[in-house]
Chains A and B, each alone.
Chain A
Amino acid sequence: SLATPFSPNAHLWQEIMKWNGWGYSDSKFLFNKKGQAEFTGKRYRLSGMTLPSLQDWFENTFGASVKHKSPPVLNASAVPPPRLNEAFVEDLKATGIPFSNEAEDRVFRAHGHCLHEIFALREGKKFERVPDMVVWPNCHNDVVKIVELACKHNVCLIPYGGGTSVTSALECPPEETRCIVSLDTSQMNRILWIDEKNLVAHVEAGIIGQDLERLLNESGYCTGHEPDSMEFSSLGGWVATRASGMKKNVYGNIEDLVIHIKAVTPRGVMEKSCQGPRMSTGPDIHHFILGSEGTLGVVTEVTMKIRPIPEYLKYGSVVFPNFEAGVACLREVAKQRCAPASIRLMDNKQFHFGHALKPQVSSIFTNFVEGLKTFYITKLKGFDPHQLVVATLLFEGDRERVLQHEKQVYDIAATFGGLAAGEDNGQRGYILTFVIAYLRDLGMDYYVVAESFETSVPWDRVLDLCQNVKERIIRECRERGVQFQPLTSCRVTQTYDSGACIYFYFAFNYRGLADPVHTYEQVEHAAREEILANGGSLSHHHGVGKLRKAWMKDSISNVGVGMLKSIKEYVDPKNIFGNQNLL
């Protein structure tokens, strides 16, 4: 389901990636001359296909029109001149580590993928502050040298992995007067060794998710860590943000997967002395680095659990009469601890959205079968098409156990009124995950801004939280003069013993708004407030960055903030890692 593998090289990578949007330059949605939506390129299953229902869905959902275009401004924005620290540059040259202060390289690493960042790029707005230079260390020792030089010359370092942050974590603090160096880990992308006896692999932290999986697959292994951004995000980034993967039910989240972390800080290198699977040696120092968001140092090497590639993989889906029934089913699955590798529940809006992305079917027969299915669910089973929701499933393991497991889950689903809805629907759900980010660019071509955000919440509050957050968004939009009904949609993407992870999509047509990004940000802020008031967390896996800093005190208490601050003060007293995230 992933894009064609590609081994990135510093500049080549930049060339095949969009500079003002998501993902590969050759892959994008567009409305062709006939007004039909198309996904270009060859990398994805959806590539090269036309999507006949997308236009209707798009126009009806947002009140947008394919006639009203808002294309990006093509000339690259003016970039402030670099503030170089000459002494640092001299010393760096002596090490032979490659670096650059080309405008293009610097701007490429000045942002993540927050709406305001991409919007600014498209509008040709000037970034107040961008990195003054980029360095490409090739290994752990290079990083040690760079950090030493940065300390020596008081230069600000901002680690850069895959650049997929959605928390403003990569933005340069505008008040930073020192030279800012973007430390790009992309060249540290090797698997250094695989230990089959202990099922661990030692990997350089700059490796991109899809490369890691591909390389391990060659030896018959996988990590099973598949965040939605895995095509572009890096291992070091996962560690620095406490990432979560789609299949965490089998493999665990990043904190469960790492056995050993090597991190370079201004105080020196931090690592444990052994690879014992669990230790009682005071607070786990890995947890100072996990989620540190580049404020303490650079993760250079990670020892990670690996597993043999599963023998059998099967998608599935279940349709429920409504969201309440779906949530109740997921809760029961979690209670019985029989969650498949992945289980996700899309709400009704997302279900319809998924349908809008169905490619054109060539055979009349397929059409006929689809029609029959719809008839069965809505007419014979009496599901209201405006209420029904769908859960997508992914099972993994040996064939027999998968089939057994599948039956168990479907049996539970049946007690909540769920109907099995086939493998195709399930698989499509997961493909969607990878192309959905591309859709935001299409929206922005037609006056629609969109973003996603996530939280985690105890089971008993899931329904109320979803409901209240959606209502808050709609209300805030209305109060802030958004002329069109916004799209608010959510899905339960992970289940835990005591709660779930919820992912929201939020989009609106911004025609008639003077400052759509500002409006968007106000609404998102309100939505986050609502999440917190309803018992949700500040973040499940995106992190805090600079976007959600304001809530840290309320989230982890003053003492908690104080603890983190004292660690920062000890590890990095001169604030070399000065991206100002988190605290």
Chain B
Amino acid sequence: MSTVCASCLNILVFLTLQQRDPMLKRDGFEDILEERRNSSDLKYALRCYAPVLYKGVTPCKANMLKNIVLQSDQLHYVVNQVSQESGEAPDIIQEEASVILEEMAHRLQISTVRFFAFALTKAFKTLFQHVCVNEEGIQRLQQAIQEHPVVLLPSHRSYMDFLLMSYILYTYDLALPVIAAGMDFMGMKFVGEMLRMSGAFFIRRSFGGDKLYWAVFSEYVKTMLRNGFAPIEFFLEGTRSRTCKSLTPKLGLLNIVIEPFFKGEVFDVNLVPVSISYERILEESLYARELLGVPKPKESTSGLLKARRILSEDYGSIHVYFGQPVSVRSLAQGKVNRSKYNLFPRHIPRKPMEETQSFVNDTAYRIVRLQEDNMVLKPWVLMASLLLQNLEGLELSVLTEQTLWLRGLALSYAAFLDWPDHAPTAKVVSSSLALHRGLACVSGGRVSLVVGEPLGPVTPEEALFNRAVSVLSCASYRNQVLHVFLRPAMLAVAMHTTASSKKNEVYNCFSFLWNMFSNDFILCPGDTVQDFEEACYLLVKTGAVQMPQQDIEMTDRAVLWTLEFPKVVNKFYSGKLSCRRILSEI
């Protein structure tokens, strides 16, 4: 445990906060739908689109790209290797590779993009009030695209995410990304191909031992990256988070896009975290049902058509925040010795070295944290948290008061709150309730969760199920704010549990919690001490805790807060404990 004094510690933590987001002050937003509402959609879809590419390269036709991949040394090597192992002729294996690539590759076509630009504009205008984008982030991205190969790493909460990303880049005349998508979409007749023509490339969900598949896939991605033909886009979380909690990152693709830097094939790679926050998620109740065991509806075109009823609802606004591009070169400085790659031919695939693996893992966590940091939170998120602490419902006035209090606290913990300017809190609360009337309702001055829509008599099981859907939907909103309170909350729990003011005892307990939750929340590997210090800093800053010398004590003011916090974490804690109990009984 470090023994830095409290004030040094504050500075230290402040610096690390700054490191995560150099500005700490976030950019403002611009509503891109506003212009769409005032001008012709058709003109917009047909406008001149001429983005600048990396170092001014000319865009590469999809077929040419395939040829480069199929003729690469990397692929030839693996083709020969597989041929030797299987006894098949290299030609046949090469043909297999070609088929894999055909199945995988995107066929980006500007006409399809224009179609989507048109159709999505129509859809967005009905579905959403605003689609807000930080334009400074766009400018940074534009700069980055010209200087280095760029990898876009958006958070993943909805099917909308990737269409939305391409839509925004098209709007700002930026190079359209190629997007790694799951094979599931391919099952959708027509739509799958449309997505392909708007830049999606499809990868199988699992291909663990298939060397050839891996070689085609990684070479395809690397070729696009090395030449800077287009920004690569994929979801670090691997899949849509059904709970709105960030998922622990998957490393496969990140490894692929970082490797060209280690091998000196590119000067740098820029990773751009993108945080997409939905005021109301399209898949809201679908997710809750999925979590309760109702199987995920298979991606199908007819399903999509059926889903068009959602077009009649109001989904509030979307905020898309393009974070500061993260230079892999700067991150790797002093952590990875690139010259270790000198002694092995670059075209022969190798398992990443331990040093690299831990670097990539670390980077992935940092990016997801950056995504979390720039996630815009709506007032409803705070209200959902409070409602979940009071499942039996609470007075509207109390909810309003507590929401205001929670807002203050969240702000002091650097939450990225989108709170309407100059609006009285009561108004903010009521309009949030109106938007989420499917989840909460006010009756007789009391706010409570809405439980299903009882059409006729329901069995007790159905009633329970419906209630669970509401609670889970609500929880998925609460989950959006967890990352703000997580660290101070763990500290508060640790202080309660240890009932000691000795800093190292509290830290030991904190560290225990930290390890236990390391798969539930985004806790960067090896950051235990830093997270502890950050938690201390935040609690001291808000006056909840004092830290004289080696001690750590709660102040009188703190009692209320620190009692509230543990509730949040305790939910997960007791959840874990009961899971363990059930498992041990089995």
| Residue B159 is within 8 A (CB to CB) of chain A in the complex | no
Cα–Cα distance between A578 and B265 once the two chains are bound (Å): 42
| Residue B519 is within 8 A (CB to CB) of chain A in the complex | no
Structural contact, B339 and A533, CB atoms closer than 8 A: yes
Cα–Cα distance between A182 and B238 once the two chains are bound (Å): 68
Structural contact, B265 and A464, CB atoms closer than 8 A: yes
Report A-chain residues with C-beta under 8 Å of the C-beta of B346. 460-461
Report B-chain residues with C-beta under 8 Å of the C-beta of A465. 264
> Which residues of B in the span 337-363 have a Cβ within 8 Å of any Cβ on A?
337-339, 341-342, 345-347
Structural contact, B342 and A535, CB atoms closer than 8 A: yes
> Shortest CB–CB separation between residue B557 and chain A, in angstroms?
46
Q: How many residues of B contact A (CB 8 A)?
A: 11
Report B-chain residues with C-beta under 8 Å of the C-beta of A468. 264, 267
Report A-chain residues with C-beta under 8 Å of the C-beta of B342. 535
Cα–Cα distance between A467 and B345 once the two chains are bound (Å): 19
> Shortest CB–CB separation between residue B235 and chain A, in angstroms?
29
Report B-chain residues with C-beta under 8 Å of the C-beta of A461. 264, 346
Cα–Cα distance between A554 and B341 once the two chains are bound (Å): 13
Structural contact, B267 and A472, CB atoms closer than 8 A: yes
Provided the pairs A532-B339, A533-B338, A554-B339 are in contact, do residues A471 and B264 lie with their beta carbons within 8 angstroms? no
Cα–Cα distance between A365 and B237 once the two chains are bound (Å): 70
Q: Select the residue from B265, B267, B338, B341 with max chain A CB neighbours within 10 A.
A: B267
| Residue A138 is within 8 A (CB to CB) of chain B in the complex | no
Cα–Cα distance between A176 and B338 once the two chains are bound (Å): 37
Structural contact, A533 and B267, CB atoms closer than 8 A: no
Report B-chain residues with C-beta under 8 Å of the C-beta of A154. none
CB within 8 A of A535: which of B264, B267, B337, B347? Answer: B264
Structural contact, B267 and A471, CB atoms closer than 8 A: yes
| Residue A534 is within 8 A (CB to CB) of chain B in the complex | yes
Q: Give A residues with C-beta under 8 Å from B.
A: 460-461, 464-465, 467-468, 471-472, 532-535, 554
Structural contact, A464 and B339, CB atoms closer than 8 A: no
Cα–Cα distance between A468 and B341 once the two chains are bound (Å): 15
Cα–Cα distance between A534 and B267 once the two chains are bound (Å): 10
Cα–Cα distance between A58 and B391 once the two chains are bound (Å): 77
**Majority DSSP secondary structure for residues of A touching B:** helix
User: What are 25 inter-chain pairs, A to B, with CB distance below 8 A?
Assistant: A460-B345, A460-B346, A460-B347, A461-B264, A461-B346, A464-B264, A464-B265, A465-B264, A467-B267, A468-B264, A468-B267, A471-B267, A472-B267, A532-B339, A533-B264, A533-B337, A533-B338, A533-B339, A534-B264, A534-B338, A535-B264, A535-B339, A535-B341, A535-B342, A554-B339
Cα–Cα distance between A465 and B338 once the two chains are bound (Å): 13
Report A-chain residues with C-beta under 8 Å of the C-beta of B341. 535
Cα–Cα distance between A467 and B264 once the two chains are bound (Å): 10
Report A-chain residues with C-beta under 8 Å of the C-beta of B337. 533
> Shortest CB–CB separation between residue A184 and chain B, in angstroms?
39
Residue of B with least CB distance to A467 = B267
Cα–Cα distance between A464 and B345 once the two chains are bound (Å): 14
Report B-chain residues with C-beta under 8 Å of the C-beta of A472. 267
Q: Mark B239-269, 1 if CB is under 8 A from A, else 0.
A: 0000000000000000000000000110100
> Shortest CB–CB separation between residue B332 and chain A, in angstroms?
10
> Which residues of B in the span 304-348 have a Cβ within 8 Å of any Cβ on A?
337-339, 341-342, 345-347
Report B-chain residues with C-beta under 8 Å of the C-beta of A460. 345-347
Q: Select the residue from A460, A535, A554 with max chain B CB neighbours within 10 A.
A: A535
Report B-chain residues with C-beta under 8 Å of the C-beta of A532. 339
Cα–Cα distance between A535 and B345 once the two chains are bound (Å): 11
> Shortest CB–CB separation between residue A496 and chain B, in angstroms?
16
> Shortest CB–CB separation between residue B80 and chain A, in angstroms?
18
Report A-chain residues with C-beta under 8 Å of the C-beta of B347. 460
> Shortest CB–CB separation between residue A530 and chain B, in angstroms?
9
Cα–Cα distance between A460 and B346 once the two chains are bound (Å): 9
Closest CB pairs A-B (n = 6): A533-B338, A534-B264, A535-B342, A471-B267, A464-B264, A468-B267
> Shortest CB–CB separation between residue B445 and chain A, in angstroms?
62
Cα–Cα distance between A533 and B333 once the two chains are bound (Å): 11
> Which residues of B in the span 132-153 have a Cβ within 8 Å of any Cβ on A?
none
> Shortest CB–CB separation between residue A90 and chain B, in angstroms?
52
Cα–Cα distance between A554 and B265 once the two chains are bound (Å): 22
Residue of A with least CB distance to B343 = A535
New A-B contacts (20) at CB < 8 Å, excluding given A460-B347, A472-B267, A533-B338: A460-B345, A460-B346, A461-B264, A464-B264, A464-B265, A465-B264, A467-B267, A468-B264, A468-B267, A471-B267, A532-B339, A533-B264, A533-B337, A533-B339, A534-B264, A534-B338, A535-B264, A535-B341, A535-B342, A554-B339
> Shortest CB–CB separation between residue B339 and chain A, in angstroms?
5
Residue of A with least CB distance to B340 = A533
> Shortest CB–CB separation between residue B223 and chain A, in angstroms?
15
Report A-chain residues with C-beta under 8 Å of the C-beta of B265. 464
Cα–Cα distance between A468 and B262 once the two chains are bound (Å): 12
Cα–Cα distance between A532 and B265 once the two chains are bound (Å): 14
Residue of B with least CB distance to A535 = B342
> Shortest CB–CB separation between residue A548 and chain B, in angstroms?
14
Cα–Cα distance between A114 and B512 once the two chains are bound (Å): 57
> Shortest CB–CB separation between residue B73 and chain A, in angstroms?
8
Q: Select the residue from A467, A472, A534 with max chain B CB neighbours within 10 A.
A: A534
> Which residues of B in the span 481-539 have a Cβ within 8 Å of any Cβ on A?
none
> Shortest CB–CB separation between residue B334 and chain A, in angstroms?
11
Cα–Cα distance between A532 and B342 once the two chains are bound (Å): 9
Q: Select the residue from B264, B339, B341, B347 with max chain A CB neighbours within 10 A.
A: B264
> Shortest CB–CB separation between residue A389 and chain B, in angstroms?
17
> Shortest CB–CB separation between residue B192 and chain A, in angstroms?
37
Residue of A with least CB distance to B73 = A460
Residue of A with least CB distance to B226 = A464
Report A-chain residues with C-beta under 8 Å of the C-beta of B264. 461, 464-465, 468, 533-535
Q: Select the residue from B265, B338, B339, B347 with max chain A CB neighbours within 10 A.
A: B339
Residue of A with least CB distance to B347 = A460
Cα–Cα distance between A464 and B264 once the two chains are bound (Å): 6
Residue of A with least CB distance to B342 = A535
Report A-chain residues with C-beta under 8 Å of the C-beta of B339. 532-533, 535, 554
Report A-chain residues with C-beta under 8 Å of the C-beta of B338. 533-534
Cα–Cα distance between A472 and B261 once the two chains are bound (Å): 13
Report A-chain residues with C-beta under 8 Å of the C-beta of B267. 467-468, 471-472
Q: Mark B9-30, 1 if CB is under 8 A from A, else 0.
A: 0000000000000000000000
Cα–Cα distance between A69 and B398 once the two chains are bound (Å): 77
Residue of A with least CB distance to B345 = A460
Residue of A with least CB distance to B262 = A533
Cα–Cα distance between A472 and B338 once the two chains are bound (Å): 15
> Shortest CB–CB separation between residue B491 and chain A, in angstroms?
38
Cα–Cα distance between A464 and B267 once the two chains are bound (Å): 8
Cα–Cα distance between A533 and B264 once the two chains are bound (Å): 7
> Shortest CB–CB separation between residue B319 and chain A, in angstroms?
33
Report B-chain residues with C-beta under 8 Å of the C-beta of A467. 267
> Shortest CB–CB separation between residue B60 and chain A, in angstroms?
16
Cα–Cα distance between A465 and B342 once the two chains are bound (Å): 12
> Which residues of B in the span 256-289 have a Cβ within 8 Å of any Cβ on A?
264-265, 267
Q: Select the residue from A468, A533, A554 with max chain B CB neighbours within 10 A.
A: A533
Report B-chain residues with C-beta under 8 Å of the C-beta of A533. 264, 337-339
> Shortest CB–CB separation between residue A457 and chain B, in angstroms?
9
Cα–Cα distance between A554 and B346 once the two chains are bound (Å): 20
Cα–Cα distance between A460 and B342 once the two chains are bound (Å): 11
Cα–Cα distance between A464 and B338 once the two chains are bound (Å): 14
Report B-chain residues with C-beta under 8 Å of the C-beta of A464. 264-265
Cα–Cα distance between A468 and B339 once the two chains are bound (Å): 14
Cα–Cα distance between A460 and B347 once the two chains are bound (Å): 10
Residue of B with least CB distance to A471 = B267
Residue of B with least CB distance to A555 = B339
Cα–Cα distance between A534 and B329 once the two chains are bound (Å): 13
> Shortest CB–CB separation between residue B503 and chain A, in angstroms?
39
Residue of A with least CB distance to B148 = A471
Cα–Cα distance between A467 and B261 once the two chains are bound (Å): 13
> Shortest CB–CB separation between residue A186 and chain B, in angstroms?
40
> Shortest CB–CB separation between residue A386 and chain B, in angstroms?
12
> Shortest CB–CB separation between residue B422 and chain A, in angstroms?
43
